[in-house]
Chains A and B, each alone.
Chain A
Amino acid sequence: MRKVRASIIGFGSVGQGVAEVLLKKDDELKSLGIDIDVVAISDSRGSEVNTEGIDLKAAIERKRESGTVAVEDLTGEYVIRNVDHDVVIETTPTDIETGGTGLVNMLAAFENSRDVVTSNKGPLTLKYQELMQAAEESDCKFRFEATVGGAMPIINLIKSTLAGNEIKSIEGILNGTCNYILTRMMEEKASYEQMLAESKELGIAETDPTYDVEGIDAACKLVILANSIFGQNATFQDVEVTGITKITPESLALAYDDGYVIKLIGEVKKDRLRVSPRLVPASHPLAVGGTLNVASVHTDLAGTVTVTGRGAGSIETASAILSDVVSIYRE
């Protein structure tokens, strides 16, 4: 049995999702030969540290009742540097302007020879090469499946299952909020503003939905794919981005009459990164509805492989994080 000591840095919905999944899947993990002890949990107000293993159920309850997991005034970075453990599960919020605390946390983890599994896009969008180098120099594992498409497995699919294939291009729907708004606009023949309001009410869109609807979130995911799959050194500036704010219900109806749906499609090729609303034949595998994400990987040997899955949600994202943790420690 491999004993793995983990910290969860960032205890918002994704961090709590990870804790829930660890509680739920304890037996399955043990049957895979992995025994995970969470020895520290941090949020923006402090941390709980217990080298014997934290009671995750109590930690989740405390967070829900008091708004914080903190019992000590220790930052995530302090925990990463000073509490002895193997893997940092980094689930702080994405900051694509500076990389935020996520970037600091990841670099601190590598400096202290800890592996990192993350759902945080910001640091990877800004400093991919730097992070990879830091991981390599400290001989640490660095996994980030949860940054692209939540539960939709794309990075690991390409790196493991499709290993040996030349990847020619990837295209897909990488933002569930935009997909929901476009799907509902077509169904209800309603305006963008109306359906944005609806998705905010349902909690599908954030209070400030700019990242999603302007295509920024999808563009960040493309950057991560371009760097991790195509070995590029791309940043957000390299992506041509058009969001969905100008789409009208009439345009969706006209497209539908011609056999198309309009989707916000991200595409990665060796020479082009682009996020834009596109016409997709209604019967095409990329024409998925609701909040689903989908990606088609075009390869030289396997042809086109398409995966679809839930792009967001704390448990779905936690599922991707768990699969990364398992893949590191089962090796």
Chain B
Amino acid sequence: MRVSMDIELKDAPGQLLLALNPISELKGNLKSIVHHHEERTPRSTIPVQVVFEVEPENLDLIISRLEENGIGVARVDEKRFMEHGAVILIGHIVHTDIQDTIDTIDKTGFAEVVDICLSMPHIDTQSSASLKIDAIGRKELHEAMSVLREVAHKKDLLVVEPIEADFA
């Protein structure tokens, strides 16, 4: 997941390194650091914003190690789902238990169906649906897509997937 964190550093040499070490030690992948050296908090510390990606189970450890190092953690924003996918389904979507189709994604724990738009022209014709799927990472999004492909295959639904994003 992606974490955006506001931390407070003492105005002394080596503090930034002390702040970043726990993140890298726990396999956090730093995305950005904004060091507001010219600003001061009411506590006379220097505010720093860091954004990084990390496995969810390591976040609490990072926070406690930062605090052990004497670094204040003022705010933590987690964004669990950072990959967004879209897919179109065509077939007898409702009659083949739409709830079950959605559940197979939600049950993975790492991806969720966050939006669905359904079009049913006639009672006896095939319907079409657009599904938005969010997942905690790219790998997980691919896995959710393959779970969806499997259930769609069983229900004779056509899955129209996007072309590979890195080709875009």
Residue of A nearest to B89 (CB): A251
Q: Is A246 an interface residue (CB 8 A)?
A: yes
Least Cβ distance of B131 to chain A in Å?
Answer: 10
Q: Return the CB mask of A276-288 against B: 1 if under 8 Å, else 0.
A: 1111110010100
Least distance between A115 CB and chain B CB atoms (Å): 36
Interface pair B88/A279, CB less than 8 Å apart = yes
| Closest chain B CB from A218 CB (angstroms) | 15
* Inter-subunit contact A278/B130 (CB<8 Å): no
Q: Is A257 an interface residue (CB 8 A)?
A: yes
Given known contacts A250-B119, A258-B86, A279 and B128 CB-to-CB distance under 8 angstroms:
no
Note all chain B residues with C-beta closer than 8 A to A34: none
Q: How far apart are B149's CB and chain A's nearest CB, in angstroms? A: 11
Which residues of A237-267 have CB atoms within 8 Å of chain B's CB atoms? 242, 246-248, 250-251, 253-255, 257-258, 260, 262, 265, 267
A278-B161 contact in complex given A251-B90, A254-B119, A296-B167, C-beta closer than 8 Å: yes
Q: Does A171 contact B (CB under 8 A)?
A: yes
**Known contacts A251-B88, A254-B119: A242-B158 contact under CB 8 Å:** yes
Main secondary structure of the interface of B (DSSP, over half): strand
Considering the complex, give the chain A residue whose CB is closest to the CB of B163. A278
Known contacts A250-B121, A251-B128; A279 and B163 CB within 8 A of each other: yes
Chain A residues lying within 8 Å of B22, measured Cβ to Cβ, are none
Tell whether, in the assembled complex, residue A265 and residue B163 are in contact, meaning their CB atoms are under 8 Å apart.
yes
The one of B119, B121, B168 that contacts A281, using a Cβ cutoff of 8 Å: B168
Q: How far is the CA of A280 from the CA of B86 in the complex (A)?
A: 11
Question: Do B90 and A247 touch (CB < 8 A)?
Answer: yes
Interface 0/1 of A299-316, CB less than 8 Å to B? 000001000000000000
Closest residue of B by beta carbon distance from A278? B163
Determine if A278 and B160 form an interchain contact, defined as CB atoms under 8 angstroms apart. yes
- Contact among A171, A247, A258, A296 with B130 in the assembled complex (CB-CB below 8 Å): A258
Which of these, B88, B117, B121, B125, contacts A262 with CB under 8 Å? B88
Tell me the total A-B contact number using a CB cutoff of 8 A.
Answer: 75
Interface residue ranges of B49-88 to A (CB < 8 Å): 86-88
Residues of A within 8 Å of B101, CB to CB, are none
- Given A254-B129, A257-B117, A278-B161, answer yes or no on A248-B90 (Cβ-Cβ < 8 Å): yes
Q: Which of B91, B127, B158, B163 contacts A286 (CB 8 A)?
A: B163
Quick check: is B104 within 8 A (CB to CB) of the other chain? no
Q: Is B126 located at the chain interface by the 8 A CB criterion?
A: yes
- A279, B160: Cβ atoms under 8 Å? yes
Q: Is the CB of B130 within 8 A of A262?
A: no
Known: A254-B88, A258-B130, A265-B163. A246 touches B119 (CB 8 A): no
**Cβ of A247: which chain B residues have Cβ within 8 Å of it?**
90, 158, 160
Nearest A residue to B160 via CB reads A277
Binding site for B on A (CB under 8 A): 169, 171, 242, 246-248, 250-251, 253-255, 257-258, 260, 262, 265, 267, 276-281, 284, 286, 296, 298, 304
Chain B residues in the interface with A (C-beta under 8 A): 86-88, 90-91, 117, 119, 121, 125-130, 132, 158, 160-164, 167-168
6 contacts between A and B (CB under 8 A): A247-B158, A248-B126, A251-B128, A276-B160, A278-B162, A279-B88
